[in-house]
Chains A and B, each alone.
Chain A
Amino acid sequence: MKALQFDRSAARYALARAAGEVVAGGGARVGPLRLVETEPPALPGPEWRRVAPLLAGICGSDLATVDGRSSRYFEPIVSFPFVPGHEVVGELADGGPDDGARVVIEPVLGCAARAIEPPCPGCASGHTGSCERVAFGHLKPGLQTGFCSDVGGGWSAALVAHPSQLHRVPDGMADEEAVMVEPTACAVHAALSAGPLEGRTVAVLGAGTLGLTVLAALRRFCLPGAVIAGAKHPEQRRLAAELGADEVVNPDGLARAVRRRTRSLDVGPRLSGGADVVFDCVGSAASLTEALGIVRPRGRVVMVGMPGSVRVDLTPLWHREIELVGAYAYGTEVTDGAAVRTFQLAFDLVREAGLGRLVSARYPLDRYTEALAHAGNAGRRGAVKVVFDLRHESRRPTWRTE
């Protein structure tokens, strides 16, 4: 089968890093990512299912990997070679029950997928994103589908998934909507883990997929008093306003907008007051620095974008007693007093907010360098989510016998 495969190669990784610094997505041409003909992954256990991806998104973390910008933090929790792609809608393709049914993959490879008993505290409490065992069990290390050499990934014609990872796509939901469920689940989790937001002033840095879906989640679940979004490109600004931002400004005007909305004073690089909560959906040193400058004392900064290794002055964190929290993946949320799977909330939000419109471009695997270049410059090119379209790849590859 055809797959984009990421190998361990220090030399190619260095080349990718250099190319990625010249142009985002440029690492695809020279780095460890290659289009290969390979065998589909074997089923790790009898209950596992085979899935033929239909659409698979390109995420910011994928781009960081392709461009050699990923943190070395991930080294122990990935296994090579892996097939990237964790935003996946596919079809069950193994002749088993519901064969042909469309599913969205919840990619975290937690204790259930790894057959670890008893499960870790995170998985036991439903917070699979916090699984402590992603490097253990009968699977090779891999925090998610798309980073584990045993299970494959969405950027290919086939992967395998544990039943705990599968969510049936409701009838009538388009593939373009379904592929947005995973990133939307991240956004829902981020919004709901930010503490009570009702009536509060919220700022959102970044208006790529994460920023836009966070805006939609905030508007749907959190009833904030005012949401101010910083968006660099015209299409992003338009979508941010449509998805619920009360005020959309250029990134360089965000601090001024927050200052004005919160009637704060300007104290050099920071505000005297600021937003109650800031969602950093960029994950750079600059965005984190700005987030720390525009959040109020004792406010909260939620890191939604994957930061990597950054150099940031944390003095304001200390002096203003700011809470800096991460928001990774998903699991179980509590809304209206009830525990609900994040993915379930995401399915609803994608449909209600029409998030399928965020899918801006589709590429076949053969054109992966173009796809990644497009994704790396999505905002500038008026796009949000770029996906691989595998609906025309050869289906149902020959599976390796156990």
Chain B
Amino acid sequence: MSPRPGFVLEVDRSSPPSLLWHGEGFRLERLPVGTRVVHPPEPLAAIEEPDEAIRHALEHPQGDSAPLSALLRPGMRLTIAFDDVSLPLPPMRAPDVRQRVIEAVLDTAAAAGVDDVVLMAALALHRRMTEPELRHALGDRIYDAFAPHGLLVQHDAEDPSNLEHLGQTEMGEDVEINKRAATSDLIVYVNINLVAMDGGHKSVATGLASYRSLRHHHNVHTMVHSRSFMDQERSELHSSNWRMGRHLAASGVKVFQIETTLNNDTFPDPFRFLSRREWEWTARDRATYLATTAGLARAPDRVKRTIFQSMRAPVGLTSVQAGEVEAVHRLTTANVYRQQLVEVEGQSDVLLMGLPYICPYNVNSIMNPILVMCLGLGYFFNLYRGKPLVRPGGALIMSHPTPWAFDPVFHPSYIDFFEQVLAETTDPAEIEEKYEQSFATDPWYIHLYRTGHAYHGVHPFYMWYWGAHALDHLGRVIIVGGDPAAVRRLGFKSASTLPDALEMAEDVVGRHPSITYLRCPPLLMADVR
């Protein structure tokens, strides 16, 4: 039976309560009659022989690229860059698709006699991956073959001796990437394309770039003018990365792009009910829900976090394409859309979301309040094509515990951003102007980014900018069930219950607003007409 597409269901009196994510937990809410619930499509069928599909893609490239085997020769410098721990979400069951792809690339390189090979995690300004995370992404065989010899590296955007400035785009954007990659005869980039924003020229132009380069598109102006940043046709973020990618190519940097897409089979067996439509829940689903919520209610935060963060997604590969970047990415995007697009007719007054425990930047860590903002107003709000699910001046209601809690190892600059910058202002433009430079060049944050596992000092700013379009668009943001002090610090309103939140939204949307509930994850992208 072919998977059912996503669809919009209007709540009526007979509808069962809807499941809302709430951090490391979830709740069933009886939504007001008339609420539109946007359900994600069911998972597409996974490719049955992924290794074979990967090898086929390498030898049958897209665009004007030669097959990978034809690009490899003895004596060449080969850099294999790969997406970091921020993808996919949740981390996928082993073997990770990066492992499968890189094993195939290494086999091809070995057959061609290439012996100068470096593996490189494309961190941009993300934190360095831990050894277990690298082992999970690459597999023990690759890790043990490369890491002990210093051939498995993590891009360091603050190592001036290992950055190459390749000039500026026609728009004056600095293009500066990792020197080893820039001076390689070939970069093979191994991507996981979870959402439509990922991949394409963004892989190298962002993943291997320096702050000097990233600041040209990771800024408030770009984000406010990306409507949405998930929609390549209307994304300034995309345009800037494409200019940089083309500049790289014109500068002689050769990239062989390998992109993969995954289905949205997101949750393993015990949690399958999270993907099912509520009216199709079996007695076992209901029992599992009750048992899980009862258990979680009693568990300390640390235990809950451990349970959820150890979840491995049973996602399957739906496509793999390789070759010239833009040709590859056109196919990739089509495959992402094939899995995620859901048609929605028009906007509503209120957009409702349940935010889960994870976003790209808190894998194995705490979802701090800035990441709550970024996930809701950045990622989820921007999961649209056409126009936002909520009208200009409308209200966004998000459900998440939003604890005033931070991971001091992964997110040290977030703590200062939250406690000192947001205490002064929540206006993205003002924050950018007054504070970005000092955080971006802070020697302590740079030290922690380079030697520990800390996100770069400027990263919380990017998280805030990610929500700039939503902040610009919305009339009110309300968080249900959050720590009131943390929610206030974000500049949002805090509500104890969904009915309270709807009442608090009344003065911007009236007493009988139209409501859309984005039931996500599993991931979907609204095609709003």
Chain A residues within 8 Å of B, Cβ to Cβ: 247, 249-250, 253, 256-257, 259-260, 263-266
Chain A residue numbers with a CB within 8 Å of B419 are 249-250, 253, 256
Given contacts A247-B420, A260-B420, A265-B447, 15 further A-B contacts (CB under 8 A): A249-B419, A249-B420, A249-B423, A253-B415, A253-B419, A253-B420, A256-B415, A256-B419, A256-B420, A257-B420, A259-B444, A260-B439, A263-B438, A264-B444, A265-B444
Those 7 A-B pairs whose CB atoms lie nearest each other, nearest first: A265-B444, A253-B419, A256-B416, A260-B416, A266-B444, A263-B443, A257-B420
Determine if B416 and A257 form an interchain contact, defined as CB atoms under 8 angstroms apart.
Answer: yes
A260-B442 in contact (CB<8A): yes
A247 to B447 CA separation, bound complex (whole angstroms): 24
Number of interface residues of B (CB under 8 A): 11
Q: Can you report 20 residue pairs joining A to B where beta carbons are below 8 Å apart?
A: A247-B420, A249-B420, A249-B423, A250-B419, A253-B416, A253-B419, A256-B415, A256-B420, A257-B416, A257-B420, A259-B444, A260-B416, A260-B420, A260-B438, A260-B439, A263-B442, A264-B444, A265-B443, A265-B444, A265-B447
Q: Which B residues are CB-close (under 8 A) to A263?
A: 438, 442-444
Question: What sequence of 0s and 1s flags, for each residue 386-429 of chain B, a beta carbon within 8 Å of any chain A beta carbon?
Answer: 00000000000000000000000000000110011001000000
How long is the Cα–Cα vector from A256 to B416 in the complex, in angstroms?
7
On B, residues with C-beta under 8 Å from A are 415-416, 419-420, 423, 438-439, 442-444, 447
Q: Which residue of A lies closest to B415 (CB)?
A: A256
Assembled-state Cα–Cα distance A259/B438 (Å):
12
Contacts of A250 in B (CB 8 A): 419
Identify the interface centre among B416, B423, B443, B444: most chain A CB within 10 Å of its CB: B444
* Chain B: CB-nearest residue to A228: B420
A241 to B443, CA, bound (A): 27
Given the complex, which residues of B lie within 8 Å of A259, measured CB to CB? Answer: 444
Interface centre among A253, A260, A263, A264 (most CB of B within 10 A): A260
Task: Kindly list chain B residues whose C-beta atoms are within 8 Å of the C-beta of A257.
Answer: 416, 420
Cα A196 to Cα B349 in complex, Å, equals 59
Residue of A nearest to B447 (CB): A265
Q: Which residues from chain A contact B443 at a C-beta distance below 8 Å? A: 263-265
CB distance from B420 to the nearest CB of A (A): 6
A263 to B416, CA, bound (A): 13
CB-nearest residue of chain A relative to B421?
A260
What is the minimal beta-carbon distance from B422 to any residue of chain A, in angstroms?
12
Inter-chain contacts of B415 with A (CB < 8 A): 253, 256
Per the bound structure, the CA–CA distance linking A266 and B444 in Å amounts to: 7
Residue of B nearest to A260 (CB): B416
Most buried by A among B415, B423, B438, B447: B423
Q: Which residues of chain A are within 8 angstroms of B447 by Cβ–Cβ distance?
A: 265
Closest to A247 in B: B420
Considering only CB atoms, which chain A residue lies closest to B443 in the complex? A263
Please report the C-alpha to C-alpha distance between residue A256 and residue B444 in the assembled complex, in whole angstroms.
11
Q: Complex: how many Å from CA A362 to CA B415? A: 39
Measured between beta carbons, the chain A residues less than 8 angstroms from B444 are 259-260, 263-266
**Bound: A259/B419 CA distance, A:** 14
Q: Bound complex: CA of A259 vs CA of B413, how far in Å?
A: 12
Residue numbers in B under 8 Å from A260 (CB-CB): 416, 420, 438-439, 442, 444
Give bound CA distance, A260 to B439, whole Å.
8
Residues of B within 8 A of A253 (CB): 415-416, 419-420
A50–B439 CA distance with the chains assembled, in angstroms = 60
Min Cβ gap A237→B in Å is 9
The residue of chain A having its C-beta at the shortest distance from the C-beta of B419 within the complex is A253
Residues of B close to A247: CB separation below 8 A: 420
In Å, the complex CA distance between A145 and B494 comes to 52
In the complex, what residues of B have CB within 8 A of residue A249's CB?
A: 419-420, 423
Tell me the minimal C-beta distance from A357 to chain B in angstroms. 22
